[in-house]
A = this chain, B = another copy of it.
């Protein structure tokens, strides 16, 4: 694996996991010393982060981690509605029924399990990721999948801001199961409707959950680390 790939993925994770806060300056020399590699692969990593929208190149001041505001959350969910609804329709049209029946069954099991004592967040999130991949595969549209990939990066960052309520987790799983069933049945209308319901509830949950701070304070100029 290339050094630039390692640096890119590490920095991306740091930003998504809020270990690197918005406004943080990502100096080339600083990061190259941190990873023990030269500036060249760091430059490529920062370039990719900028293309992803996770960072912005400020002329003369280098690359800084991008801000996330409440307005961004609205904008992200607007784009998500456009992409997810279309993806759900296309997936329902071209899906492998068995695959989505399986996902629906697994999701139902998670719903039942989340109503019990244990809360297996990791298992649920893994299942959602598999369902996203299954939808991407079913849509058979690399351009749509590419747009989704970029969008999910930002959504993951926003999601990490607030701790999802356990009750909401169970309801989200039930909504995902509904989407999977609709796709398995091949009903485009129902798949889109179920997606709309899920997105509306998800946005509601994000907006009503207490978050740390939407607008991060100006970070210290000296590097954290």
Contacts and interface: CB of A to CB of B under 8 A. Distances in A.
A76 interface: yes
Contacts of A157: none
A13 interface: no
A130 to B, nearest CB: 23
Please state the number of chain copies in the assembly: 2
Interface string A125-146: 0000000000000001111101
A51 B53 contact: no
Contacts of A76: 143
Contacts of A150: 146-147
Contacts of A142: 72, 75
Contacts of A81: 86
Nearest to A44: B47
Contact of A53 (B48, B141, B146, B151): B146
A75 B43 contact: no
Contact of A78 (B40, B47, B53, B144): B144
B143 A53 contact: yes
Interface in A72-116: 72, 75-76, 78-79, 81-83, 85-86, 90
A83 B83 CA distance: 7
Contact of A82 (B72, B85, B140): B85
Contacts of A144: 75, 78-79, 82
29 contacts: A40-B40, A43-B44, A44-B44, A47-B47, A48-B51, A51-B51, A53-B143, A53-B146, A72-B142, A72-B143, A75-B140, A75-B142, A75-B143, A75-B144, A78-B90, A78-B141, A78-B143, A78-B144, A79-B143, A79-B144, A79-B147, A81-B86, A82-B82, A82-B85, A82-B144, A83-B147, A143-B154, A147-B150, A147-B151
